[in-house]
Structure 1
Amino acid sequence: MADRGRPWLITAVAAQIVVYPCALGLARPTALMVGTGRSAQLGSLIKGPEVLETTLEVVSIELD
């Protein structure tokens, strides 16, 4: 759903994608590495960044 209160935001993001498409290619790996590093700081061990990609398929987590 579009945010009708901030049309400039949609325009800015669209312009960023058109002008600098490489940003999307850099943002994804950077976000995965930051997520892995931050979870390590909080005490969670993650095998690798690709594990974070598969978390979209997780329905429930059971802790003992």
Structure 2
Amino acid sequence: MLEKTIETPTETVVDFGFDGKLAVHPNQTPVINEAYTPNPDEIDWAGRILDRTAAAGIR
């Protein structure tokens, strides 16, 4: 039950750009972790950004 109660609000704060969330119960952590885990497209995008900045000599 606790997991479902925080699923939508957690997804909302991720969409708003927040980079963390507190859990008041250990059962909430899997939901929070899943919401903040990047999907393969996001990982690919970040890799391209890193490659381009390295190619431009930016560290």
Q: Tell which has more relative contact order, 1 or 2 (C-alpha 8 A, sep 6+).
A: 2
Give the TM-score, by structure 2 length.
0.35
